C-alpha cells in the first residue's frame, strides 16, 4: 500500500496505513435482517451471482427467502446470516464495480465474514462455505447450551464487568460486545442474564434483552469454536488486499493468524468501539455501512462524532452514494473529498431503541 500520500497516516495500534480520502467499509451483523432487503438488487447479474452462490452453499433459495418470506424464517440463525451476507456482498460488489476504493474494512461479528470476501482473503464460494459452517455450528451450540444476550445502556466496562461478577453465581456471564460509549452487551446462561437484568434495573438503569438464538461471543459457544477450528484448518486464507480490522482485538487480520482468530471470535467479545477508534487514530474519517438498518453508523456517531457517516442498503442509496462519491473525487471538485459529508444525505442514524434491539451478531 502507498504510504507517501499526504492523506495517509500510520497508527501504531492499528499498524496499518489508512488513506483518509477513501471510506472505511463496515459490514452489518445479525439483527439487521428484514424481509425484502436486497430484493431491488436481484436484477443485477453481480448481485444475482452472490445470491445463487449462497443458495448453493446453504441448500435453500436465499433470493426467495428475502423476497417471499415468511418473515419468521429470518429469525433462524442460518437463514438470517445467509440473507445479511448476501446483501452486504452484493452491495460491496456493486460499489466496487461503480469505482469505489476502500481504505479498510471491518464487520460486526457476522459482518467480519463479509469483510473476508471484500479483503480478498476468501473467494465468494469459500466465504459462503465458511459462513454456512459457522452458522450451523453456532445454531447447534445455542441448542446444546441455551443462553441469551442483553444490552446494558449507560454502561462502561468497569460497571459491566462488576455486574457480571455479581450476577454470575457460578454461571457463564461475560461482556460480549463493546458497541459504543455507554452501550455494552453481556452474554450468558438464561438464569445469569435474568439476574443481571434484575440488578441493572434495580439500580435505576435501562437494559434490553436481545432477540438472539443463544449466548453468542461467550464460552457457551466453545463447542462451536472447537468444531470450527477443525474446519478452518483446511481453509487456505490469502493475505488481505486492504486492512481488515479484526473484532477480537481491533488489530489487522492476516492470513497466518486468520483461522485461530476467527475461531476465538465465537467466544470472545466484539470490540467494535475499539476497532472504529483505532481506525480514526490511523487517519480514517469516512465510514460507510454496507448493509441494512443503520445500526453501525449510529454506533460510529457515538464513537467519533466528527466522522463522516453514510449507509448503503439498497439500489436507491447505492446509486446516490456512488454519484456523490464520484462527484467529490472528481478533479474538478475544488475541495478535499472528505471536507464535508457526502451530500446525498444518508438516512438518519437509527434510534437508540434500534441500536439496542437490533444489535448485530
Burial track 294-311 (b if 16+ CB lie within 10 A, e otherwise): bbbbbbbbbbbeebbbbb
pLDDT of residue 40: 83
- C-alpha dist (Å) from residue 204 to 31, 154, 251, 288, 350: 27, 11, 36, 35, 24
What was the pLDDT predicted at 211?
Answer: 77
List the grid coordinates of 136. Answer: 450451523
Q: Would you place residue 176 in the very low, low, confident or very high pLDDT band (cuts 50, 70, 90)?
A: very high
Q: What is the mean pLDDT of residues 59-72?
A: 83
CATH of domain 8-142+221-357: 3.40.366.10
Is residue 179 within 8 A of residue 151, CB to CB? The reply is yes
Task: Report the chain's mean pLDDT, rounded to a whole number.
Answer: 85
CB-count burial class (<10 Å; 0-12, 13-18, 19+) for 18: buried
> Distance (Å, rounded) from C-alpha 7 to C-alpha 15?
16
Is the pLDDT assigned to residue 353 strictly greater than 80?
no
Strand partners, 186: 150, 175
Those residues with Cβ within 8 angstroms of residue 48's Cβ, 6 or more apart along the chain or in another chain: 42, 63
**Catalytic status, residue 75:** no
* Structure confidence at residue 32 (pLDDT): 59
Q: If DSSP codes are grouped into helix, strand and coil, which group holds residue 231?
A: helix
Give 299-346 pLDDT, tens digit per residue. 999 999 999 999 998 999 999 999 999 888 754 443 333 333 333 233
Question: Helix or strand or coil: residue 29?
Answer: coil
217 classed as catalytic:
yes
Question: How many Å separate Cα 130 from the centre of its chain?
Answer: 16
What does the block give as the cell for 41?
A: 438488487
Domain 8-142+221-357 shares a fold with domain 146-214: no
pTM, 2 dp: 0.85
Active-site annotation holder among 187, 217, 275, 286: 217
On the question of a cis peptide bond just before residue 70, with omega within 30 degrees of 0, the verdict is yes
* DSSP character at residue 252: B
pLDDT number for residue 13: 44
| Euclidean distance between CA atoms 207 and 15, whole angstroms | 36
User: Which of these is catalytic: 28, 103, 109, 208?
Assistant: 109
197, 130 contact by CB (below 8 A): no
pLDDT score of 24:
96
**Any idea where the domains of the chain sit in the sequence?**
8-142+221-357, 146-214
* 301 alpha carbon, distance to own chain's centre: 15
Query: Tens digit of pLDDT for each residue in 94-134?
Result: 999 999 999 999 999 999 999 999 999 999 999 999 999 99
CB 186 within 8 A of CB 149: yes
Query: Sorting pLDDT into bands at 50, 70 and 90, what band is 35?
Result: low
pLDDT tens, 120-170? 999 999 999 999 999 999 999 999 999 999 999 999 999 999 999 999 999
How sure is the predictor about 10, in pLDDT bands with cuts at 50, 70 and 90? very low
Helix (H) and strand (E) counts in the chain: 13, 11
Q: Region 164-189: what's the mean pLDDT?
A: 97
For the domain 146-214, what is the CATH superfamily, name and number?
Answer: Malonyl-CoA ACP transacylase, ACP-binding (3.30.70.250)
Q: In sequence order, which residues have a C-beta less than 8 Å from that of residue 261 and are 6 or more positions away?
A: 246, 248, 249, 253
What are the strands of the beta sheet with 286-290, ordered from one edge? Answer: 244-245, 104-107, 24-27, 286-290, 308-312
Amino acid at each position: 500500500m502507498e504510504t507517501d500520500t499526504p492523506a495517509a497516516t500510520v497508527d501504531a495500534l492499528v499498524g496499518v496505513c489508512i488513506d483518509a480520502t477513501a471510506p472505511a467499509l463496515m459490514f452489518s451483523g445479525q439483527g439487521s435482517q428484514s424481509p425484502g432487503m436486497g430484493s431491488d438488487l436481484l436484477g443485477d447479474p453481480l448481485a444475482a451471482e452472490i445470491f445463487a452462490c449462497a443458495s448453493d452453499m446453504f441448500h435453500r433459495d436465499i433470493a426467495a427467502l428475502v423476497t417471499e418470506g415468511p418473515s419468521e424464517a429470518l429469525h433462524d440463525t442460518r437463514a438470517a446470516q445467509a440473507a445479511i451476507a448476501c446483501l452486504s456482498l452484493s452491495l460491496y460488489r456493486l460499489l466496487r464495480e461503480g469505482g469505489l476504493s476502500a481504505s479498510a474494512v471491518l464487520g460486526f461479528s457476522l459482518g467480519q465474514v463479509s469483510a473476508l470476501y471484500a479483503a480478498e482473503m476468501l473467494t465468494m464460494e469459500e466465504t459462503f462455505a465458511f459462513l454456512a459452517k459457522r452458522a450451523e455450528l453456532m445454531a447447534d451450540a445455542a441448542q446444546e447450551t441455551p443462553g441469551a444476550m442483553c444490552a446494558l445502556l449507560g454502561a462502561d466496562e468497569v460497571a459491566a464487568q462488576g455486574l457480571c461478577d455479581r450476577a454470575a453465581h457460578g454461571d457463564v456471564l461475560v461482556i460480549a460486545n463493546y458497541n459504543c460509549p455507554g452501550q455494552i452487551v453481556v452474554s450468558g446462561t438464561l438464569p445469569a442474564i435474568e439476574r443481571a437484568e434484575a440488578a441493572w434495573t434495580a439500580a435505576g438503569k435501562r437494559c434490553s434483552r436481545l432477540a438472539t438464538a443463544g449466548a453468542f461471543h461467550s464460552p457457551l459457544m466453545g463447542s462451536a469454536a472447537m468444531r470450527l477450528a477443525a474446519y478452518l484448518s483446511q481453509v487456505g486464507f490469502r493475505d488481505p488486499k486492504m486492512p481488515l480490522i479484526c473484532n477480537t482485538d481491533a488489530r489487522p487480520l492476516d492470513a497466518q493468524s486468520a483461522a485461530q482468530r476467527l475461531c476465538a471470535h465465537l467466544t470472545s467479545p466484539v470490540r467494535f468501539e475499539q476497532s472504529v477508534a483505532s481506525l480514526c487514530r490511523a487517519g480514517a474519517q469516512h465510514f460507510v455501512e454496507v448493509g441494512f438498518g443503520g445500526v453501525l453508523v449510529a454506533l460510529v456517531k457515538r464513537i467519533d462524532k466528527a466522522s463522516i457517516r453514510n449507509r448503503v442498503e439498497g439500489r436507491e442509496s447505492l446509486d446516490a452514494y456512488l454519484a456523490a462519491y464520484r462527484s467529490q473525487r472528481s478533479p474538478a471538485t475544488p475541495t478535499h473529498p472528505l471536507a464535508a459529508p457526502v451530500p446525498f444525505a444518508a438516512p438518519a442514524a437509527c434510534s437508540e431503541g434500534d441500536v439496542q434491539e437490533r444489535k448485530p451478531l
